[in-house]
Structure 1
Amino acid sequence: MSENLKQKPKKSRENIVLIGFMGVGKGTIARELSKELGRFTLDCDDLIESKENLKISEIFAKNGEEYFRNLEKDLAKFLSKNVKNAIISTGGGFAKVKKLNKIGKVIYLKSSFEAIINRLKNSENSDKKFAKRPLLRDLDKAKELHNARESLYESKADIIIDVENKTPQQISDEIIDKLSLEK
């Protein structure tokens, strides 16, 4: 068979794991991919909130960031052992977990800090979107965190998608194309 022939799209049962900075749109893209691929979507922050019966901001306030990161590690182990064929939207720091690629194909949704903040400010329920992200309370520190995490995201990613100035549909289509998946 000629190597020049384009590979036929495949149906994969491998999870799609979306990583990137908080507010970049991982949940929005997960829902778009879900519509296109007919897969269930899991949101890591929602799963942790459900397990703890607390909002993320309450977990941080009550138990601190280290406790929250340990919850993420436990969730990563659960996902890698028990979940297939899903689209998984992670929290901004979830990329720190070891063996992230054991969960599925890792897609980094990349954007500048300024574009993320503008996206959040211009969204419906803007106040709620900022309130649920405790690490965005100080934008100068958040920008430093964004810059520090960029190399982490890039090192963990199987695929990097620049999401700036693209619609969720365009981003979803690009992910599906790069993964050579069948809609």
Structure 2
Amino acid sequence: MKVVLVGYMASGKSSVGKALAEEMGLEFIDLDHYIEEQQQMTISDIFREKGEIFFRKLEHEMLHRVLSENEDIVLSTGGGTPCYGTNMGTILNQADHSIYLQLPVSSLVERIAKEKEERPLVRELTDDELAEFVGKHLFERRQFYTRSTYVLDCHEKSIERLVEEIKQELL
């Protein structure tokens, strides 16, 4: 079974993905970490040294590779992965299930604010700018995320509860 988790940054894709994979006895792959391992560079360095266009082409190639080469996985994507090129189509065509981890802007802002230093995209923003940025960005990206086969409301739910809800949907 191939399960792909999509959603905005800090929506819990990696945390939920790891717990879900463990619970279901599947391999867990974080696409951003996979890309970093393959390139021997951080995502930030790839963006800085080679540019976003290079990264997005690489990301598409790695997404296709991971989904083609693995039968039983839970894959967490980067927040922008489904929104570029034909990536969402690739996810829908090659995965058995795609799940959008949906959170309100206020929850995302609260989570992102706690880890701004680790997120180059928002590191320099004030808290007021962050809320506006996330709201606008999420509005643009939601059309891609909602193409997923399942939209999961994650607001005020524990990882354990989310894993249970996903399992009920998958089985």
Scaled to the shorter chain, the TM-score interval is 0.7 to 0.9
Letter of the structure 2 residue corresponding to residue 158 of structure 1: T
Q: CA RMSD in A?
A: 1.5
Partner of 2:101: 109
Does residue 90 (structure 1) correspond to residue 82 (structure 2)? The answer is no
Partner of 1:172: 163
- Indicate if the aligned counterparts of 2:11 and 2:102 stay in contact, CA closer than 8 A: yes
Structure 1, unaligned runs of 5 or more? 1-13
Q: 1:94 to 1:154 in 2, by over 3 A?
A: same
Cα deviation 1:107-159 (Å, max 9, x = unaligned) = 0000122201212445xxx3xxx34432223423343111210111102x000
Q: 1:48 to 1:27 in 2, by over 3 A?
A: same
- Indicate if the aligned counterparts of 2:2 and 2:67 stay in contact, CA closer than 8 A: no
Partner of 2:55: 68
Instruction: Give distance in 1, aligned partners of 2:134 and 2:45.
Output: 19
Instruction: Give distance in 2, aligned partners of 1:158 and 1:41.
Output: 19
Partner of 1:8: none
Q: Which has the larger radius of gyration?
A: 1
Normalising by structure 1, we get a TM-score of: 0.81
Does residue 147 (structure 1) correspond to residue 139 (structure 2)? The answer is yes
Report how many aligned residue pairs link the two structures.
Answer: 160
Partner of 1:50: 37
Of 105, 111, 115, the match for 1:119 = 111
Of 116, 119, 123, the match for 1:133 = 119
- Indicate if the aligned counterparts of 1:19 and 1:109 stay in contact, CA closer than 8 A: yes
Which stretch shows the higher mean deviation, 25-34 or 142-151? 142-151
Instruction: Give distance in 2, aligned partners of 1:83 and 1:132.
Output: 29
Structure 2, unaligned runs of 5 or more? none
Normalising by structure 2, we get a TM-score of: 0.86
**Structure with higher helix content:** 2
- Indicate if the aligned counterparts of 1:57 and 1:132 stay in contact, CA closer than 8 A: no
Cα deviation 1:75-134 (Å, max 9, x = unaligned) = 122123211111001100111314212331110000122201212445xxx3xxx34432
- Indicate if the aligned counterparts of 2:36 and 2:43 stay in contact, CA closer than 8 A: yes
